[in-house]
Chain A
Amino acid sequence: MGSLTQVTIDFDTSHLVFPIIIGTVLGLLGLAILIRDRASIAAAPGYWRHIWQEMDKVRFFGTIVLTLAYFGAMVPVGNIWPNTGMGFLICSVPYVFAVGVLYLHDRRPRNLWPIALLAVIAPPLSWWLFSYVFFLALP
């Protein structure tokens, strides 16, 4: 019985022991879920169709696209003025404005002013606070 429970771990491959165990357990759990929930998994296309129909696609995908563009632009813009946090500052202004407008329900010009004001004040304030008061690096 003793030999059945004995294990030797080779130090060189010890980094794989735990991931293999967890991976195996995950696989078994995944299989158990697949078997138990086979009916609801079979009905998944309907579930996702419902989510798609109910979703506010403009706001949801708009958020993702704007965020992708924001993250993607920050470093190239920041590289023009290295180590100044300008990438963050310059990209945050249009991002805050665009997301604010995206989430606004009534987009009449008078309702855009508070968002424009926010976009002009909030990013420079954070940039100043983190760069010059807290001495933290920004992109």
Chain B
Amino acid sequence: MFEFITPLFCLLIVAGTFAGIVFGAIPGLTATMAVAVCLPLTYPLGLENGLALLLGLYVGGISGGLVPAILLGIPGTPSSITTTFDGFPMATAGEGEKALRIGIVSSLVGGLVSLAILFLFAPTLADFAIEFSYVEKFLIIFFALTVMAALSKDLLLGIFSGMLGIFISLIGQYDINNGGNGHIRLVPDGWDYYLDTGFSLLPVLIGLFGLTAILEQAEIGVPKGHSREDLKVGSESTFSFGIFRNQIGNLMRSSCIGTFVGILPGVGGSAASLLAYSNAKSFSRHPETFGKGEPAGIVASEAGNNGLTGGALVPLLSLGIPGDSTTAILIGAFTLQGIQVGPLFIGNNPDTWSAMIVAMLIANIAMFLLMYLAIRHLALVVTVPKHILFPVILMMCVVGAYTINYGIIFDVWTLLIFGLFGWLAVKLRLEVAPFIIGFILGPSAEIYFVKSLESFGDVSIFFTKSWIACVLWLLIIASLAGSLYFSRRAKSETAGE
């Protein structure tokens, strides 16, 4: 059953976790970028080994963000923003190493709790989803998009971004393999050769998460790296596991919040850690200490953002809907190996499913050991100069984009187009996560929508097909109403201040 556990499998997880920590620890680089850039490496490795590398990168990338967040007060990844609130004050007070160790242990617990939930919950959800017809499948995608839009900074712009992603995904042929008529649409004259099958997913992702991040850094002048003297590791460790004696409730609650946020499609780690942090503050007997070097704040933030890792895989492996931008790229790894993720995935690929669970487990343990035992040395990755890293990342982006479809130069141009688009989208306040999820799910949404209408010939089928459809509509309305309520409340609170 566990034949996939080979020395290479374990080595790839450890190497991936280490590389992920490096990516996560360098401000401006993210776990998503790490997975996108390393995707072509998985080509010859096979699915299980390829996933081992990518899941290691994912866990390492999310965890590595705590290093600069604590030592420099700069979040290495968006998901470690709240770690800076209490981590940096602790580091400033000479307790950097203690804060790092608190964050590392919390990350491990968050990762393991979410892994347990993934293991228990994903197969059940997948078994349930197997019964879904095209109508329910379409509504699930619609629900995913509304949840994402509802959790965006701006509801209207969030929906617009998601719809734009869907629209761009429709460029090219109406896929004949999925029952379409094979006709081309939305392609300008003379571009049929390049856009016959539309924009490829992976060059789009590599552009949006690789090139865009570097362009953003270039725009602000590629800030100088940090020197060893900037790192506030602290002179002596005063860490003991006794710190967690009063934090078990906080740890478990924050891990579960992170996992739950991960399950919601397209919602990133920053939402997970923010929600976990604000909850920890609400439940604390001393909320006034938060933001001033309170260890409970680091516990909540890191357990929350690592809780995301398993949670985000739940909708991916049970419904085929990515839980966040990094898991969206994992779809690419499955596509490369010719496997479709969805309700049938776990049942049809038990070995791959087991490999993913084992890989996540080993990645979390490797992350803990690497960071806990070598934290003083690992902290130095923050000082790696960007003028050395960025040119290599750009070169790897090209390799990734070009090799993904066995050598199509238009994919390299796609990378540039979407890298520039990503930069522009940020300036226009468009939301990249809903855009990506819309782009990934757009073709499936089209097939499910059109085939439902072709089969039933009645729009009301989307409301009357089954009780699941009714529940999904209620959830869609609730997510939109909730978003409107919270945005109005936030506005009135701002006006009140």
Contact = CB atoms under 8 A, between A and B. Distances in A.
A22 B215 contact: no
Nearest to B420: A64
B159 A29 contact: yes
Interface stretch (B4-12, B108-116, B457-465): B457-465
B221 A56 contact: yes
Contacts of B41: 134
Interface in A78-123: 88, 92, 95-97, 99-105, 114-115, 118-119, 122-123
B163 A26 contact: yes
Interface in B438-464: 442, 445-446, 449-450, 453-454, 457-460
A7 B222 CA distance: 55
Contact of B43 (A59, A118, A136): A136
Contacts of A71: 398, 409, 412-413, 416
Contacts of B40: 130, 134, 136
A137 B166 contact: no
Interface in B217-265: 218-222, 224
B157 A75 contact: no
Contact of B167 (A23, A105, A130): A23
Contacts of B157: 33
Nearest to B461: A5
A70 B394 CA distance: 11
Contacts of A123: 395
A59 B218 contact: yes
B181 A122 contact: no
A79 B449 CA distance: 45
A46 interface: no
B473 interface: no
A16 B186 CA distance: 9
A26 B438 CA distance: 13
Contacts of B445: 18
Contact of A51 (B214, B427, B450): B427
Interface residues of A, number: 66
Contact of A96 (B184, B185, B392): B392
Contacts of A30: 160
Contact of B395 (A6, A8, A122): A122
Nearest to A130: B399
Contact of B181 (A2, A11, A60): A11
Interface stretch (B278-286, B371-379, B382-390): B382-390
Given A130-B403, A136-B40, A88 B398 contact: yes
A55 B397 CA distance: 24
Nearest to A93: B395
B170 A134 contact: no
A56 B220 contact: yes
A104 B225 CA distance: 10
B435 interface: no
Contact of A59 (B222, B406, B413): B222
A116 B215 CA distance: 22
A18 B43 contact: no
Contacts of B449: 17-18, 21
B287 interface: no
B461 to A, nearest CB: 9
B17 to A, nearest CB: 20
A15 interface: yes
Nearest to B42: A134
A33 B219 contact: no
Contacts of A105: 222, 224, 387
B129 interface: no
A139 B460 contact: no
A101 B385 CA distance: 12
B160 A59 contact: no
B18 interface: no
> Which of A14, A32, A92, A95 has the largest count of B CB atoms less than 10 A from its CB?
A14
> Which of A33, A67, A97, A101 has the largest count of B CB atoms less than 10 A from its CB?
A67
B44 interface: yes
A86 B451 CA distance: 47
Contact of B458 (A2, A59, A114): A2
A42 interface: no
B160 A18 contact: no
Contacts of A137: 402-403, 406-407
Nearest to B447: A18
Contacts of A6: 457-459
16 contacts: A7-B458, A14-B454, A15-B174, A15-B185, A22-B170, A23-B167, A25-B163, A64-B215, A71-B412, A95-B395, A99-B390, A99-B391, A105-B387, A114-B388, A118-B392, A136-B403
Interface of A: 2, 5-9, 11-12, 14-19, 21-23, 25-26, 29-30, 32-33, 36, 51, 54-56, 59-60, 62-64, 67-68, 70-71, 74-75, 88, 92, 95-97, 99-105, 114-115, 118-119, 122-123, 126, 130, 133-139
Given A26-B167, A105-B224, 17 more contacts: A9-B454, A9-B457, A22-B170, A30-B160, A36-B156, A56-B221, A60-B218, A64-B420, A67-B211, A74-B398, A74-B412, A75-B409, A88-B398, A136-B406, A137-B403, A137-B407, A138-B399
Interface of B: 40-41, 43-44, 156-157, 159-160, 163-164, 166-167, 170, 174, 180-186, 211, 214-215, 218-222, 224, 386-388, 390-392, 394-396, 398-399, 402-403, 406-407, 409, 412-413, 416, 420, 427, 442, 445-446, 449-450, 453-454, 457-460
Q: Closest 8 CB pairs between A and B? A: A15-B174, A56-B221, A137-B407, A103-B387, A99-B391, A18-B446, A96-B391, A15-B183
